């Protein structure tokens, strides 16, 4: 009696179970989607690049072209205007604390979530939170030269301590962690442990900043 009333009832039961299972799966997907909404942009970039440092497709401000290295192999870290120069500056305070009266970095007013690239090949020596500087990455380029990338967006650092990066590799996304007045990249350059003007330093290596 295949296909009789009992078999039909069993088939209906299986059908109802399938619908319930499908509904449950959809609800779980929606919850997962909502929870990971913040992390998705970073994940998308990592996935699109095929590795965890990636290939940038950034644009120079007002030029519309892809960021390219200078002849000596140095890069602009992000597109966007320079919003604060190295040198004396008024003190800025927020919930994370106050800035120092001498600005040791060069600020790029790039939007929240803009990918930033290592300005030159090197080794990551720090990747984590640094109080008023927010989340930051430090890259040692050898020869006593280090570059420091500040205020990185939470959960948006793509590199780890000890990792080798090339100039132009994406290392993190622009954020507003630490002391500041909005999303921007604060780039610092140290030579033999002493801060120097990043704009003059990069211009001296053929970079448009
Ligand atoms: Zn700054």
CA distance 163 to 53: 10
Residue 56 Cα to ligand 1 midpoint, Å, equals 23
Residue 133 Cα to ligand 1 midpoint, Å, equals 9
pLDDT at residue 68, rounded to an integer: 86
Residue 209 Cα to ligand 1 midpoint, Å, equals 15
Residue 145 Cα to ligand 1 midpoint, Å, equals 19
pLDDT tens, 80-121? Answer: 999 999 999 888 898 888 888 899 999 999 999 999 999 999
- Of the chain, the percentage scoring pLDDT greater than 90 comes to 58
CA distance 28 to 182: 34
pTM: 0.68
Residue 105 Cα to ligand 1 midpoint, Å, equals 5
CA distance 155 to 138: 16
What's the pLDDT band for 156 if we cut at 50, 70, 90? very high
Mean pLDDT of the chain: 79
Residue 180 Cα to ligand 1 midpoint, Å, equals 8
In terms of pLDDT, which residue wins out, 48 or 110? 110
């Amino acid at each position: 009696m295949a296909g009789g009333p009992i078999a039909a009832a069993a088939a209906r039961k299986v059908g109802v179970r399938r619908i319930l299972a499908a509904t449950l799966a959809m609800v779980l997907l929606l919850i997962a989607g909502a929870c990971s909404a913040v992390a998705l942009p970073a994940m998308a970039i990592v996935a699109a690049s095929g590795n965890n440092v990636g290939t940038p497709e950034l644009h120079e401000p007002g030029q519309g072209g892809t960021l390219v290295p200078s002849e000596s192999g140095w890069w602009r870290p992000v597109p966007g205007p320079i919003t604060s120069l190295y040198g004396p500056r008024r003190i800025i305070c927020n919930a994370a604390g106050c800035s120092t009266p001498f600005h040791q970095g060069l600020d790029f007013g790039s939007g929240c979530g803009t990918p930033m690239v290592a300005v030159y090949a090197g080794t990551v020596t720090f990747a984590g939170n640094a109080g008023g500087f927010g989340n930051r990455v430090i890259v040692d380029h050898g020869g006593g030269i280090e570059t420091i990338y500040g205020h990185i967006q939470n959960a948006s650092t793509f590199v780890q301590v000890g990792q080798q990066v090339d100039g132009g590799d994406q290392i993190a996304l622009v954020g507003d962690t630490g002391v500041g007045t909005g999303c921007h990249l604060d780039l610092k350059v140290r030579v033999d442990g002493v801060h120097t003007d990043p704009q003059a330093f990069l211009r001296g290596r053929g970079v448009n900043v």
